[in-house]
Amino acid sequence: MLDAEFFRRWMTVTAASVDREAERLTALDSPIGDADHGTNLQRGFTAVRAALEKEPPATPGAVLTLSGRLLISSVGGASGPLYGTLLRRTGKALGAATEVSREQLAEALRTGVDAVRQLGGAAPGDKTMIDALVPAADALGDSFAAARAAAEEGAVATTPLRARKGRASYLGERSIGHQDPGATSSALLIAGLADASGPTGAAEAADE
Amino acid sequence: MKMLINVPETVVADALRGMAAAHPELAVDVENRVIVRRDAPVAGKVGLVSGGGSGHEPLHGGFVGPGMLSAACPGEVFTSPVPDQMVRAAAAVDSGAGVLFVVKNYTGDVLNFDMAAELAEDEGVQVAKVLVNDDVAVTDSLYTAGRRGTGATLFVEKIAGAAAEEGQPLERVEAVARQVNENSRSFGVALSAVTTPAKGSPTFDLPSGELELGIGIHGEPGRERRPMMTSGEIAEAAVDAILQDLTPRNPVLVLVNGMGATPLLELYGFNAEVQRVLGERGVPVARVLVGNYVTSLDMAGASVTLCQIDEELLRLWDAPVNTPGLRWGV
């Protein structure tokens, strides 16, 4: 089972990988966006990490809703509301339980991803974060490792697509040939989830 | 790339501190990033709040003052502000007559202002929103996020600001803002890419012999790249792109807007060509504004915005305005 500490580790691990990958995210955002995706997410997850260290919430749901609210208050752009909504709605779906199973998390994540789809109006294939999150939420029912692989595959698969949402959509045909920065950062979030389960898949082993 | 900054992280805060020092008539909250006219809330007056990424100065903070915006929320460079800023701004300017959010059509701005409107209404502030989407370079809006908000934002903020200053009610100020947006169209060109402080190098590569047609205001490339054109050829491309979408029967307001790095010598020369083309196409011109108003950091280039007006809109356009970036009649 996954407890609040696991979820806090998920956010902390993700914050560290966003730090590490900020420049790559910004570079991906340069040709088709406005070159700030890495910087913006870094600012948000730094705020999340600081708050979770200061006052760690007691339940998995509370960790995610607090993190989501902080992202909305600190990131700005489209990423703030979209990532914030993803975590808040996933957290809300987990309710007040002190421990949840991976299957319950998969179900909650699906609720979160649906909320993001509704907010941004994006569907799979529009070259957005949805292209990494939808397959990841589906694969999470199998294992953390499968979710990680599905998100990464989904992100890479955005490269040949033409953007239909967000700033890249203004480039029309010229958005083709670039991997979507939002799908890429979403893959980092899901990789953080897999990493939080431990190098040996400890959480997963405990779950199964 | 050399920049007159300390470190990228403090660029927006440093600018706000400098703005506060230069404009004591504005209340600049550097920590919470809200710029408010000092006499707000004005009794019985609708509050006008706008905001968006920084890097477009004087938009929006430079348009705060009597006759235009009540408050502005600057985000990080090219990044929408967060809902907290907008809620704070709305609370600061609401006199009980309600608040109009002027929102440019970018996913981030739209989502954050939507969230802010909900939160402000929870706190008892009546909020209306108008979406500015004037950029004709975006054609297939059915499958994208829709047309971008660019130069027409200035027209909306000035004219709706004048209506609010007269004490018109929220529904009326909102209707005026919508009317201005629906009658406005823009088209922009870039002669160079921008350098954001965070990235420190140009966001895309634009060789010296080429230009980008149909750009927005965030340093993103346009719809099409072409060999460099003359000022007259660019004026024809811009005006014709607009007239394909708007057939003005009434006179128009004209904004010839610099993107930040193009000198006034070139902008005035470009305006001469824009006026020639408008004359040749039979479009009557009521007023002309030339300068750097809706900029894109250090981008070289310009945009043209036309707004078809009636007598009432012209009266509101001519009404006194007293802000750091736009001032007349006072």
Task: Kindly report, residue by residue over A169-182, the tens digit of the pLDDT.
Answer: 888 888 999 999 99
- The reply to whether A125 touches chain B by the CB within 8 Å rule is no
pLDDT of residue A33: 81
Cα separations (Å) of B309 from A42, A174, B181, B208? 45, 36, 11, 38
**Minimum Cα–Cα distance from B110: chain A residue:** A78
Name the percent of chain A lying above pLDDT 70: 95
What are the start-end ranges of the E strands in B161-282?
184-190, 210-213, 224-227, 252-258
Å between B78 CA and nearest CA of chain A: 7
For an interface test with A, the pick among B76, B80, B107, B196 (most A C-beta atoms closer than 10 Å) comes out as B107
Q: Cα–Cα distance between B295 and B289 in angstroms, integer?
A: 14
Between chain A and chain B, the number of residue pairs with CB atoms below 8 A apart is 112
Q: Which two tokens stand for residue A86?
A: 């993803």
Å between A51 CA and nearest CA of chain B: 17
Q: Cα–Cα distance between B212 and A178 in angstroms, integer?
A: 19
With tokens 């990228």, the residue in question is: B8
- Burial of residue B110 (CB within 10 Å: 0-12, 13-18, 19+) is buried
Q: Cα–Cα distance between A127 and B193 in angstroms, integer?
A: 24
Active-site amino acid positions of B: 56, 218
Nearest residue to A6 via CA among A136, A14, A69: A14
- The reply to whether A13 touches chain B by the CB within 8 Å rule is no
Residues 6 or more apart whose CB falls under 8 angstroms from that of B33 comprise B12, B13, B16, B73, B74, B75, B81, B85
| Nearest CB neighbour to B218, from listed A34, A81, A164 | A34
Q: What is the pLDDT along chain B (330 residues), one digit of tens a residue?
A: 899 999 999 999 999 999 999 999 999 999 999 999 999 999 999 999 999 999 999 999 999 999 999 999 999 999 999 999 999 999 999 999 999 999 999 999 999 999 999 999 999 999 999 999 999 988 765 667 889 999 999 999 999 999 999 999 999 999 999 999 999 999 999 999 999 898 888 888 889 899 999 988 887 777 789 999 999 999 999 999 999 999 999 999 999 999 999 999 999 999 999 999 999 999 999 999 999 999 999 999 999 999 999 999 999 999 999 999 999 999
Q: Which two tokens stand for residue B15?
A: 């600018």
Cα separations (Å) of B214 from B185, B189, B241, B298? 12, 6, 9, 17
pLDDT of residue A25: 95
Q: Which two tokens stand for residue A105?
A: 């998390």
**ipTM score of complex:** 0.88
Contacts of A39 in chain B (CB under 8 A): 76, 198
pLDDT of residue A198: 79
Q: Which two tokens stand for residue B327?
A: 């001032």
Task: Kindly report, residue by residue over A44-59, the tens digit of the pLDDT.
Answer: 999 999 999 999 999 9
For an interface test with B, the pick among A34, A73, A79, A164 (most B C-beta atoms closer than 10 Å) comes out as A34
pLDDT of residue A30: 85
Q: Given pLDDT bands bounded at 50, 70 and 90, which one contains residue A206? A: very low
Task: Kindly report, residue by residue over A119-174, the tens digit of the pLDDT.
Answer: 999 999 999 999 999 999 999 999 999 999 999 999 999 999 999 988 888 888 88
What SS3 class is residue B213? strand
Q: Cα–Cα distance between B63 and A42 in angstroms, integer?
A: 31
Q: Which two tokens stand for residue B59?
A: 């938009």
Average pLDDT over chain A, rounded to whole?
A: 93
Contacts of A172 in chain B (CB under 8 A): 140, 144, 223
pLDDT of residue A199: 66
Q: Which two tokens stand for residue A171?
A: 């480039």
- The reply to whether A42 touches chain B by the CB within 8 Å rule is no
Nearest residue to B117 via CA among B97, B91, B95, B96: B91
Note which residues in 86-105 of chain A have CB less than 8 A from chain B: none
Whether residue B220 and residue A80 make contact (CB cut-off 8 A), yes or no, is no
Residues 6 or more apart whose CB falls under 8 angstroms from that of A85 comprise A68, A72, A112, A115, A116, A119
CA atoms within 13 A on the CB side of A84: 24
Asked if B54 and B62 touch (Cβ cutoff 8 Å), the reply is: no
Work out the number of other CB atoms within 10 angstroms of the CB of residue A121. Answer: 12
Task: Check whether A203 has a pLDDT greater than 60.
Answer: no
pLDDT of residue B140: 62
Q: Which two tokens stand for residue A87?
A: 């975590």
pTM of the model as a whole:
0.93
Whether residue A77 and residue B108 make contact (CB cut-off 8 A), yes or no, is yes
For an interface test with B, the pick among A170, A174, A178 (most B C-beta atoms closer than 10 Å) comes out as A170
Q: What domains are defined for chain A?
A: 2-200 (1.25.40.340)
| Nearest CB neighbour to B80, from listed A31, A76, A120 | A76
Contacts of A43 in chain B (CB under 8 A): 76
Contacts of A169 in chain B (CB under 8 A): 143-145
Whether residue A167 and residue B203 make contact (CB cut-off 8 A), yes or no, is no
pLDDT of residue B217: 86
Q: Given pLDDT bands bounded at 50, 70 and 90, which one contains residue A207? A: very low
| Nearest CB neighbour to B112, from listed A35, A80, A170 | A80
Å between B73 CA and nearest CA of chain A: 11
Beta bridge partners, B224, equal: B213
Q: Given pLDDT bands bounded at 50, 70 and 90, which one contains residue A195? A: very high
Q: What is the DSSP string of chain A?
A: -EEHHHHHHHHHHHHHHHHHHHHHHHHHHHHHS-S-HHHHHHHHHHHHHHHHHHS--SSHHHHHHHHHHHHHHHT-TTHHHHHHHHHHHHHHHHTT-SEE-HHHHHHHHHHHHHHHHHHHT--TTSSSTHHHHHHHHHHTTT-HHHHHHHHHHHHHTTTTSPP-SSGGGGGGGGGTTS--HHHHHHHHHHHHHHHHT-TT-HHHHHH-
